[in-house]
Structure 1
């Protein structure tokens, strides 16, 4: 849609609402009418200021794309989000309009910050990796800016409408869980308390947004690990790999010894899970069952005479899960892995590497590399001949796909035939970029959470803030309790919304009064110095007369300053050419999230080196869309696109392989 048409239509809509919103000053509706008119005036002001800014970005943002066929970068996304917001819920009541006005104000500030980036960075560059002052100012500004408006009534407006109920459930579950976190309750008791507290967050979006902002900015890493591990219930299959490996597939006379993972606490087992839609040769072998730690043991095929055993597949997919290096296991990703195994008729080995902060870099990389080497040597146990091997992973797992391949090249080990990295983390820093600005509005990957994960992986020794209640909560709940909690929260959300008038303002006299005060306060421009004594403002010069809304609980974001962050095996975007030259074909799928510019810049770097690389930017989907593949048609299609790229890697005719030397015991 033409941006001029959008802003002209918004101007007319505001004028129309102002012209018909008239009530006698003494009437019960007079205060509401005044609020609505004031909102319309502010929206007009923001829109008039935004129109030339958006036009300026539209004129240049194509210079930052990967190529003409792949339009995507953080500047494009910011413009799209800004224009989309022009009509988000523009026909609702005064409370809706106040929330919308706050969101538009903050988006205006983001686009101003993007203007600073585009003028300070080099032409066509999405990052300024040398300008630490620019990144520091970005982090400082982010820390003070109000974000709650994006987690209440405007939650997920930038994503596909089909995903918004899911996002609402996640946010309500998180703030409800935050109230009980650290208190001494059984798993069932915690689920019941979360049900009781979730209702008020459904009824009162402003309260939900404020509480979610508080949680995402300042609760400790253990809370995040605990919440995102709710659906975990332990491993079904655990393998212990041996200390040296041999691959008879290539040349048994050429060997390299691969040591077991030793970082931080010495040698230990590597945990893996095997997923296969069909039972294949080797998968029911006594040798494989001896490696399993399931209880009860795996059922022997002899007990299932009707099961027809299939021959070895020529393909093998090795998967590294996401979770910010700090949370989740392969179980969190089963939904799309099972689909891929069925559709591609191949086994999948998913690695459950050790998590940070207990196991910072390089433990996860060592374990993933070791599991990769073990799989090459023991593919016959996995139901594969490994004629074609592909690595796949999302987010942190995408990072590990790239770095494992780099480590294989450096070690003289067979390089995989291709990589499929979904929204990979290739730059583990807080360096400013346009897509990093999106962390202000992203409920799944706020900057405060992102930096906690990155610092944990780097091994930064920080003292976490203790949650209310004093004691640490357990790292996870049982699977049944977690499912119950999720179902109860979703049920509460659906039940309450089924009888609430959607135009009704916040419920509860006390909450409404509190939120009215917040709304009134937020409508008054404030200086940076007014927000908190802990914030040393003045980092950004906004246009005269404009100031973004400030948070009442500023974030304490620790910049990623540890030298390890710039290790090429941590941030492959910073790797020298000699470490990247020789990588197999790389397929990258990115989304509307903070890591978009990482993907664009990494793909450009590979392309400029002559390395085979493909980048796809999916629209209107958040970070983690693979794990949401069963929630909406859009996420299912995106998962299917990733699967088809894996198929292409397996079916490629001309393989370019580095010389492979494999270990011999």
Structure 2
């Protein structure tokens, strides 16, 4: 399967120049033929088609010199000859796919234009959109040529004398609308195109409800009307998405991504993924922690930045119940402890999601790797910006190292694995360990990781101008919320154990909002509050487990859970591998025949319910309020040219605990073996390539994989897309290598 992926990469990155030249000639011939045909058509649509085909022809001519110039340099930026991939290559691939799209569209017009069933109006819009797409890609390649002159050979990031503001000013010329309209997702694999289009549609519908005023009934009515508008008019949808990206606050991003945390969506993994014997939420109290290294006792700082000392939420996932695990009282037929332990940190742009939203692929990992997985649900920005999450991950890692027996592991091999923001936190945690003389993880697996929290100009970062999941505005807001929080709302920091002394500026509703990123816990959830370590360790080792109580944090989370009380499927728990579905009173029972439905039908039903709950959820959580400045910009009747330079102008310090790309060579030499995985269409691709190149330069045991056709965050779609599922299998293989490094030779 990995060999097949490498074969696909070879096709992407080694396109024969003759084949590309042949495509260009075919497209120009088709455009000329169609333009000549419609030049004689005096109707409005006929003339629009004529002009669009001419514009498409001109765009192809403009693209070609830029393509040749970039192709001459692109190999300079690869990790190695066996792993061709960087932002320059990605754009060449996108242009190639756009040319294929244009050829297919031209052929469709050519073969149907004389038919009485020729849908001139629809195809006119398709052709116009395609011509805009090619023109915008030409402007993108112009920017890439500029970046080539701004950077040193082999460096995907520009020299320091060139600022992000320069690039943002130039990027204002790019027409983003064409990437979010009729041809949204054209650059991705077929199994993900419909999913990405649904997410884009959901974002527009969600924004209508989120920013609407009035009663619940009026919001629901507006939502129904908007559904039809955005489905039938892709241009309206594109305009809305671009406006959201440029003007919506980070709270909107959090609220939209929170939908993956609802109990409704949490049912998906239990339906289509592997069952697990253990899925426990554990709260670590903020108490002193030391770790012994040789004869030295190292004190681990208790997380206290921004929000004071609060319990740290972790989740233990295991396919088997193992001896010594917390909560194994009266359990029989226990498996022996595993030699390995996986520490997982989830993605979400530092502002959203949790281990529960990543539960789908984590269940598969737990089964295939056959080791316990400890997930860290770190606190989120902007309420808990840097360095709060880093403090919590470091504390949880050290606690796990010291108490691996309570997690069903001997702790012989501890591997860190994370995606996106979580991967960044693991790299930074490793740096912290090295600086504190704490043994780092035995290996690291990081997927599509942003190693530079700055907006470092690079070709791949420009891909966010067309990314449906991580548009430019969302990326910048997440980075700013985590690394450059609003100083006016900065919370007091204290080392006191009091839950109130450090909250002079925080209301009770703020605390609930802060905890909203955690997975809602129902009454039937398997939740542990880890009490005094000294008392619990002895009890567990004797086969007994201390009494478990419901924590204050759990009560706060329950408030969030109550918003979702009308969902059909309230909770799903698993005991010793058996699933128990609890149905709400008044709902129909689930028959055995329902379990035979296809995955697609079950997912479609859940998606339909989710759309219906957009209005209900927001109606329950938002009171009527006046429109903010950002909300007024989201009005589709307003075509604002917002100044992105002013909006996103902020300075992030070159802190290697924030941006590991700035780590010294001496630190990188001490890193454990690292496996880096990214995708050709990832805005963070260049971050991954450059970090892997730096590790390789200091002779680290590093390997880089770059997958084809998948978006940033593809692991969250592994249950819905065959290609994303195959990508998850590559991740499993790389983690397995790290768990068994003693049996494998270093990569050549």
> How far apart, in 1, do the equivalents of 2:330 and 2:244 lie?
49
TM-score by length of 1: 0.80
> 2:194 aligned with 1:165, yes or no?
yes
For residues 655 and 406 of structure 1, what CA distance do their matches in structure 2 show?
A: 25
Q: Does 1:430 align with 2:519?
A: no
CA distance in 2, matches of 1:186, 1:330: 34
Q: How far does residue 132 in structure 1 lie from its aligned partner after superposition?
A: 3.5
Aligned mates of 2:216, 2:281 — CA distance in 1: 24
Partner of 2:657: 569
Q: Is 2:126 the counterpart of 1:99?
A: no
Q: 1:9 aligns with which of 26, 32, 35?
A: 26
Which residue number corresponds to residue 77 of structure 2? 64
Structure 1 residues 580, 374: closer, same or farther in 2, change over 3 A?
same
Q: Give me the whole-angstrom Cα distance separating, in 2, the residues matched to 1:38 and 1:144.
A: 21
Give the Å deviation of 1:431: 2.1
What is the distance in 1 between the residues matched to 2:486 and 2:98? 40
- SS of 2:413's partner is strand
Structure 1 counterpart of 2:529 = none
CA deviation string 1:391-446 (max 9, x = no partner): 00000011011111111111111111100000001011112111111111111111
CA contact (8 A) 2:286 2:303 kept: no
Residue 384 of structure 1, aligned match among 409, 423, 430 = 409
Answer whether contact 1:390 1:649 (CA < 8 A) is retained: yes
**Aligned to 1:272, what secondary structure does the other structure show?**
strand
In the alignment, what sits opposite 2:171?
142
Once the two structures are superposed, residues 186-236 of structure 1 have per-residue CA deviations (whole angstroms, 9 ceiling, x without a partner) of 999977864552222111111110111111111101010000011214996
Alpha-carbon offset, residue 460 of structure 1: 3.1
Does structure 2 retain, via aligned residues, the 8 Å contact 1:353–1:364?
A: yes
| Paired residues of 1:162 and 1:632 also in contact (CA < 8 A) | yes
Going from structure 1 to structure 2, the CA distance change for 1:69 and 1:241 (only over 3 Å counts) comes to farther
Partner of 1:606: 695
With over 3 angstroms needed to count, the CA separation of the structure-2 counterparts of 1:108 and 1:463, relative to structure 1, is farther
Match of 1:240 in 2: 284
User: 1:53 aligned to 2:82?
Assistant: no
Q: TM-score, normalised by structure 2?
A: 0.71
Structure 2 unpaired stretches of 5+: 1-14, 110-122, 264-278, 490-509, 518-559, 570-602, 612-632, 634-638
How many residues matched? 572
Correspondence list, 1:58-457, <5 A: 58-88=71-101, 90=105, 91=108, 93-133=123-163, 135-143=164-172, 145-183=174-212, 194-233=223-262, 237-241=281-285, 243-245=287-289, 251=294, 253-285=295-327, 302=331, 308-457=333-482
In the alignment, the residues of structure 2 paired with residue 459 and residue 76 of structure 1 have an alpha-carbon distance, to the nearest angstrom, of 32
* Equivalent residues of 2:188, 2:711 under 8 A apart: yes
1:132 partner SS:
coil
Residue 558 of structure 1, CA deviation: 5.5
Name the residue aligned to 1:503.
Answer: none
Relative to structure 1, is the Cα distance of residues 593 and 22 closer, same or farther in structure 2, using a 3 angstrom cutoff?
same
Give the CA deviation at 1:325.
0.4
CA distance in 1, matches of 2:235, 2:337: 56
Measured in 2, the distance between the counterparts of 1:157 and 1:433 equals 22
2:270 alignment counterpart: none
Give 1:541's aligned residue: none
Q: CA deviation at 1:257?
A: 1.2
Alignment of 1:470-481 (within 5 A): 478=563
Paired residue for 1:595, among 675, 680, 684? 684
**CA positional deviation for 1:449:** 1.1
Task: State the 4+ residue runs in structure 1 displaced beyond 6 angstroms.
Answer: 184-192, 472-477, 480-484
Cα drift, residue 610 of structure 1: 1.6
- Residues 1:370 and 1:139: Cα distance change in structure 2 (over 3 Å): same
CA deviation after TM superposition for structure 1 residue 563, in Å = 5.3
Q: 1:449 to 1:483 in 2, by over 3 A?
A: farther
Aligned residue in 1 for 2:536: none
In structure 1, runs of 5+ residues without a counterpart are 287-299, 465-471, 495-533, 535-550, 657-665
Q: 1:621 to 1:408 in 2, by over 3 A?
A: same
Query: How has the CA–CA distance of structure 1 residues 24 and 101 changed in structure 2, closer, same or farther, with 3 Å as cutoff?
Result: closer
Closer, same or farther: CA 488–216 of 1 in aligned 2, 3 Å: farther
Higher relative contact order (CA 8 A, sep 6+): 1
Q: Which residue of 2 aligns with 1:291?
A: none
Q: For residues 323-365 of structure 1, give each alpha carbon's deviation from its aligned partner in whole angstroms, at most 9, with x where no partner exists.
A: 0001111111111111000011111000000000111110000
Matches of 1:488 and 1:565, distance apart in 2: 47
- Equivalents in 2 of 1:87, 1:380: separation in Å? 56
Give 2:739's match in structure 1, choosing from 646, 650, 656.
Answer: 650
Corresponding residue for residue 631 of structure 1? 720
Kindly indicate whether the alpha-carbon contact (under 8 Å) linking 2:291 and 2:300 is maintained by their aligned counterparts in 1: no
- For 2:209 and 2:41, the matched residues in 1 are separated by 47
Aligned partners of 1:487 and 1:301: how far apart in 2?
41
| Distance in 2 between residues matched to 1:386 and 1:188, nearest whole Å | 55
Q: Could you list the per-position Cα deviations for residues 505-559 of structure 1 after superposition, in whole angstroms to 9, with x for gaps in the alignment?
A: xxxxxxxxxxxxxxxxxxxxxxxxxxxxx9xxxxxxxxxxxxxxxx744353557
Quote the Cα distance in structure 1 between the aligned partners of 2:658 and 2:564: 32
- Cα 1:612/1:624, change in 2 over 3 Å: same
- Which has the higher mean CA deviation after the structures are superposed, 35-44 or 180-189? 180-189
Q: Contact 2:88–2:144 at 8 Å: present in 1 too?
A: yes
Quote the Cα distance in structure 2 between the aligned partners of 1:429 and 1:319: 24
Q: Please give the alpha-carbon distance, in whole angstroms, between the structure 2 residues aligned to 1:589 and 1:100.
A: 32
Q: What's the RMSD between the two structures over aligned residues?
A: 3.2
Rounded Cα–Cα distance in structure 1 between residues aligned with 2:566 and 2:480? 31
Question: Which residue pairs with 2:670 in the alignment?
Answer: 582
**Structure-2 change in CA distance of 1:639 and 1:187 (3 Å):** farther
Change in CA separation of 1:187 and 1:380 when aligned onto 2, cut-off 3 Å: farther
More strand by share: 2
The aligned runs of 1:14-25 (5 Å cut-off) are 14-21=31-38, 24-25=41-42
